[in-house]
Structure 1
Amino acid sequence: MYLTSDHLIGFFTNDPQLIELGSYILHVTFLSLFISGTTTLFTGIFQATGQGTAAFVMSIVQGMTLIPVLYLANRMNGFHGVVWSLVIADAVAFLVGAVMLYVLRNKLQPDLEQLAQ
């Protein structure tokens, strides 16, 4: 889909300018899918390890960051801000999840010094 976005948009319109804009939007949206997939993985890890609060926080962060980011990005960069807002919101959720996962990893990892004794 990423490589053939021009042809995909071309199924719906013949306007070259619209095809170019649609392809640009698809490319940026596909970029956010990699980040979104990782944040979903973080949420699954939290659920699987009994960290309900962390999973809840991830869900809230994913849902609640998009609206303010969308508003601010639109005010700052107009059309391009709106297009990139999904990537920015997903990146914020990713960073929050990465920090919480790091804390969880340290919490679940046995203390090697105690095991050595």
Structure 2
Amino acid sequence: MIIFARPVIALFMNQPDIVNAGSYMLLATIITTPVVGIILVYTTIFQSIGNVWGAFIMAIARQGVVYFLVLELMKIILSYHGIVWSQAISDVITCVIGFLIYEKSLDLKDKIKDKE
């Protein structure tokens, strides 16, 4: 999709300005697709190990709290480009949050084993 963004957008609308804007937005959306996969893995791990708060935080972070905050901040800083890249930025931030929760979960698991 990254390579063929322009032709794909042109299938729907063949106006140069729309193709340019659409392919730019598609690139900004697709660029963090691998990160979204990692976010979903973290969410699934938290659900499967019974980490309710971790799963809840991951569920609301990407499309909720983190995305809203990043969108508002980037809109102020970079206007149009900030809005376009807000989802990608929030994906990266949410992935980092997932990693930190995962690391904390491992620390808690080790502490529980040490007490036994």
Q: TM-score, normalised by structure 1?
A: 0.85
Tell me which structure has the larger Cα radius of gyration.
1
Between the two proteins, what is the percent identity of the paired residues? 28
1:49 positional shift: 0.9
| Structure 1 partner of 2:108 | 107
d(CA) in 2 for partners of 1:83, 1:29: 8
- Give the superposed CA RMSD: 2.2
Q: Runs (4+) of structure 1 moved beyond 4 Å?
A: 109-113
Is 1:47 matched up with 2:47? yes
d(CA) in 2 for partners of 1:110, 1:72: 38
The 3-state SS of whatever aligns with 2:13 is coil
d(CA) in 1 for partners of 2:101, 2:78: 31
Structure 1 unpaired stretches of 5+: none
1:13 positional shift: 2.0
| Structure 1 partner of 2:57 | 57
1:29 positional shift: 0.2
Count, aligned residues: 114
1:50 positional shift: 1.2
